Amino acid sequence: MKRNEEYDWILNELPYADPFLFLDEILRVDNNGAEGSYLFKSDSDFYGGHFKNNPVTPGVLLTECCAQIGLVSLGIFLLGKETKLKNLSIGMSSSQMEFLLPVFPGERVRVVSELVYFRFQKLKCQVKMYNKNDKLVCKGVLAGMIGEANE
């Protein structure tokens, strides 16, 4: 997959790395929301035990993927390219997710978020995750705190 280099600065600011990075590409980000994709790799360790002989991606990891793409990436964008993000502080404050379809090993998903509000370092978004057939996998509302930590 060819990466959209316009958003590499956001990827470089993310406080995650393998094996806990659930974002391959940012497809779009603006003041109203973000969109990105991730491939859940078939050889990921968690598939060995969730569930035996019938692996499915855990809902908590689907939520994390939605948060990294739809909340954190958007928050970094809203803070701005010029902001010194050396002391970036991120924390999830609430999540309300509804899971509609399973995500199996080797599936690529696409997350779309819509900004609800961003004020006083609190960011709230509606998120939706789609599979390769554009079927809704999960949806919900995520909120967190994002900004520069005081030293």
The catalytic residues are: 50
Give CA separation, 94 vs 16, 74, 103, 143, in Å.
Answer: 19, 16, 23, 5
CB atoms within 10 A of CB 99: 14
Q: Say if CB 29 and CB 13 are below 8 A apart.
A: no
| DSSP at 53 | T
33-39/108-119 β-pairing: antiparallel
